[in-house]
């Protein structure tokens, strides 16, 4: 159920060459730090088909997680970690944020649905996240007009 109230908004704009440089220096260690287990599988498949698609996948997920961390007001500070927030595609292709561990517990007590949009070009990626507020608790027998 959508509440309509917005609790947070985050955005990130990232140059792809930044991710390329980090990946060239740290390789799979960087991938394991940034991506959760399910994202790592997708990244490996995309990279095997086309190394450029692997870099763009890594860059869009990095940007989405940055945008998400801004929207929830934590930045990359506990309980927010890179791998606890995965950005995966639903069967129809739309991206969604899936949380795990302490981040999922922390988030569930504070926020409603998270909406994410990502885009990539040759040299730049962008992500935008909107966080819904939790639905208001039903009021006891009070009535407002």
User: Which residue positions form the known binding site for Mg(2+)?
Assistant: 12, 66
Binding residues: 12, 66
DSSP-derived pairing of the beta strands 111-120 and 124-133? antiparallel
Closest by CA position to 123, among listed 59, 64, 30, 65: 59
81-103 burial code (b ≥16 CB/10 A, e <16): bbbbbbbeeeeeeebebebeeeb
């Amino acid at each position: 159920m959508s509440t309509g109230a917005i609790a947070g908004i985050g955005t990130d704009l990232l140059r792809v060459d930044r991710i390329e440089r980090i990946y060239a220096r740290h390789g799979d260690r960087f991938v394991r730090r940034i991506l959760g287990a399910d994202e790592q599988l997708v990244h490996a498949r995309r990279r095997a088909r086309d190394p450029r698609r692997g870099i763009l996948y890594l860059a869009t997920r990095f940007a989405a997680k940055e945008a998400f961390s801004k929207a929830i007001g934590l930045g990359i500070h506990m309980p927010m970690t890179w791998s606890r927030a995965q950005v995966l595609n639903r069967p129809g292709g739309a991206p969604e944020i899936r949380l795990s561990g302490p981040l999922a517990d922390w988030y569930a007590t504070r926020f409603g649905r998270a909406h994410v949009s990502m885009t990539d070009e040759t040299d730049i990626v962008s992500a935008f996240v909107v966080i819904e507020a939790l639905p208001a608790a039903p009021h006891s027998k009070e009535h407002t007009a």
